[in-house]
Amino acid sequence: MRNQAAWWRGAVRGALAAILLGLFWNIQEPRGLFLQAELGLSAFCFSEPVLLLVERQNGSVASPKEPTSASGPDWARLEPVRLSGDGRHFVLAQTGKRFYVWGLNYDHDETGRLLEDYWQTEWARVVEDFQQMKQLGANLVRVHLQVGRFLEAPDRPNQRSLEQLARLVQLAEQTGLYLDITGLGCYHKKEVPPWYDQLPEAQRWEAQARFWEAVARTCARSPAVFCYDLMNEPVLPGAGKKETDWLLGEFGGKYFVQRISLDLAGRTPQQVARAWVDRLVGAIRQYDKEHLITVGEIPWATVFPAARSIFHTKEMGDRLDFVSVHFYPEKGQVQKALKALAVYQLGKPLLVEEMFPLRCSLEELDAFVEASRPIADGWIGFFWGKMPSEYTHQKEDLLQAALTKSWLEYFQSKAPKILRP
């Protein structure tokens, strides 16, 4: 087993890295100056609202070449999820019943391996993990697809990976779990194809569009697809600053934050964000006109109360179907987190796409969940391939094991209250 400390650092996503600045970069105040100077992020405009990403989509299982349909009793258990008539909540398409997300991020295993590292050779483990997540009370699993595994060249998708994705979608159908399919990951920098990093912005966006065309074509007909998340935690460079690296913020050996541009080149952040979203949403909609689309955001309002999402402006319109934000409340600051979450009430469903009691107690995390129920439409935690009982017998890193065990027990006990309000 790999070094457990490294695993634990990687266990929590890049959102934590950006939100909890002292933990992520080991720096102190002034936070805003550091972010603007070092990261060059243009997501802090106090004269104008700030932005981040999100939008809609719908889909079904298809093989990379032709659509396929699942059969058997489990197919009928899943209704497609859509937006309510007023666009403010999730509902089941056939019954109109309101739908709440209670899900788990399935981003890597306990050793830090990403899903694509083992889903070909250890498929039985993936099947068991899905069954266990269902047993824990989840109704959704968030998976993170890596661009290097799905593109062999800018215009050539990896058919073997697409076939395995179709298999995963069918597994979700059979298990009765929805999928939040997050794409364009570059989490392991050494595995990012050199040709991809060398592409200029326009060509990089085109390659990203090819990625989403292939994924949407594969998944468009499955009721198990809850949404497509265009990219985990995208950011923009600062005005007048030219960046050289698409990835930033190494965290536990992984890169969860990614730039969508290296140079604004006289454009506003809003213009760049809109153009990028338009291109990728358009790619998806060629093959899937129904499933929801979103983008997982760093909630800058946690640090900067005046911050707003760059991907949910009037200019962006309804290109993104719902808001997804990543929250890790800090000890003694539940009210601060709730106040920041309220900033993302934008007349669309609001999903807490990542959460974990890393810097607060389980009681405080539960207080956050309970107090956010009037405005949130779902919450997604983490699962790293082990059930609570397995942490009981772990002989290393006992504190980490105890925390994860308690988290999973909480998640399981909370499920009935969330799913049957």
Q: Is the dihedral of CA 205, 206, 208, 212 positive or negative?
A: positive
pLDDT of 33: 24
What is each CA distance from 406 to 170, 358, 402, 403, 409, in whole angstroms? Answer: 31, 12, 6, 5, 5
What does residue 66 show for φ and ψ, rounded to 5 degrees?
Answer: -135, 150
Query: Which pLDDT score, from 0 to 100, does residue 399 have?
Result: 85
If one counts every other C-beta atom within 10 angstroms of the C-beta of residue 393, the result is 7
How many CB atoms lie under 10 A from the CB of residue 399?
8
Q: What's the token pair of residue 146?
A: 């890596």
8-state DSSP, 272: H
Instruction: Give the pLDDT of the chain (421 residues) as one tens digit per residue.
Output: 333 434 444 443 333 333 333 333 232 222 222 233 233 343 333 222 222 222 223 333 333 333 333 333 444 479 999 999 999 999 999 999 999 999 999 999 888 899 999 999 999 999 999 999 999 999 999 999 999 999 999 999 999 999 999 999 999 999 999 999 999 999 999 999 999 999 999 999 999 999 999 999 999 999 999 999 999 999 999 888 899 999 998 888 999 999 999 999 999 999 999 999 999 999 999 999 999 999 999 988 888 887 888 898 877 878 999 999 999 999 999 999 999 999 999 999 999 999 999 999 999 999 999 999 999 999 999 999 999 999 888 777 888 889 999 999 999 999 999 998 6
Tokens of 276: 């990028």
pLDDT value at position 277? 97
Q: What are the phi and psi torsion angles at 209 (to 5°)?
A: -65, -40
Q: Give exposure, 246-279, as e/b (b: 16+ Cβ within 10 Å).
A: bbbbebbbbbbbbbbbbbbeeebbbebbbbbbeb
Query: Residue 47 — φ and ψ, nearest 5°?
Result: -85, -20
* Token output for 313: 């402006």
How far apart (Å, rounded) are the C-alpha atoms in residues 373 and 95?
Answer: 22
| Contact (Cβ atoms closer than 8 angstroms) between residue 43 and residue 34 | no
Cα distance between residue 298 and residue 344, in whole Å? 11
pLDDT of res. 239: 86
What local confidence, expressed as pLDDT, does residue 333 receive? 96
Backbone phi and psi for residue 46, each to the nearest 5 degrees, phi listed first: -85, -15
Q: Do 223 and 60 form a contact (C-beta atoms < 8 A)?
A: yes
Which residues, in sequence order, are CB contacts of 113 under 8 Å at separation 6+?
A: none
Full set of structural domains in the chain with CATH: 4-419 (3.20.20.80)
What DSSP string runs through 376-393? -SEEEEE--S--HHHHHT
3-class secondary-structure state, position 265: coil
The whole-number pLDDT of residue 47 equals 26
Q: What is the pLDDT of residues 327-354, one digit of tens each?
A: 999 999 999 999 999 999 999 999 999 9
The encoded tokens of residue 280 equal: 């990728």
Q: Let me know how many helices (H) and strands (E) the chain has, helices first.
A: 15, 15
Q: Is 265 left (phi over 0), alpha (psi -120 to 50) or beta?
A: left
Strands (E), 304-344: 323-326
Q: What is the dihedral of CA 99, 185, 240, 316, to 10 degrees?
A: -30
